[in-house]
């Protein structure tokens, strides 16, 4: 599921990197990372179903919300994905808007 999400995000035309960029792009860009385990289901003293939890960060140089809608469309179109918009912040030092979504993906 994670690979499917990663491919879908990279297919949007928005530059995406996993975990971090060595050098940030000069246009809107994103970062995706797995942050840990989400909900899990145990049986017979072992985990039989586990969700992974991660974050998607979008950095925009203006107020255009086209890329925001694009990312939310990707998340909505992925079966087995739960998500929410966690925060929107203006980063004064970089003069960019930082959007952050938290997602959980169903895995086996």
Residue pLDDT, tens place only, 15-38: 999 999 999 899 999 999 999 887
Q: Quick check: helix, strand or coil at residue 87?
A: strand
pLDDT at 10 over 70: yes
Percent of the chain scoring above 70 in pLDDT: 97
pLDDT at 108 over 80: no
Residue pLDDT, tens place only, 33-60: 999 887 776 777 777 677 889 999 999 9
Domain boundaries of the chain, sorted by first residue: 2-107
The region of weakest confidence among 15-24, 43-52, 66-75, 82-91 is: 43-52
What fold is seen in the domain 2-107?
STM4215-like (3.30.2000)
The CA-based diameter of the chain, rounded to the nearest angstrom, is 52
For 95, residues 6+ apart whose C-beta sits below 8 A from its C-beta are 61
**Span 73-95, mean pLDDT?**
95
Place of tokens 């975990």: 19
């Amino acid at each position: 599921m994670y690979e499917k999400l990663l491919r879908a995000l990279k297919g949007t035309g928005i530059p995406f990197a996993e975990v971090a960029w060595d050098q940030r792009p000069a246009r809107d860009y994103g970062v995706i990372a797995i942050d840990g385990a989400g909900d899990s289901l145990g049986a017979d003293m072992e985990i039989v179903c586990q969700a992974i939890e991660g974050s998607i960060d979008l950095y925009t140089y203006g107020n255009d919300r086209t890329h925001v809608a694009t990312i939310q469309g990707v998340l909505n179109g992925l079966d087995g994905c739960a998500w929410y918009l966690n925060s929107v912040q203006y980063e004064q030092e970089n003069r960019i808007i930082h959007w952050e979504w938290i997602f959980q993906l169903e895995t086996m």
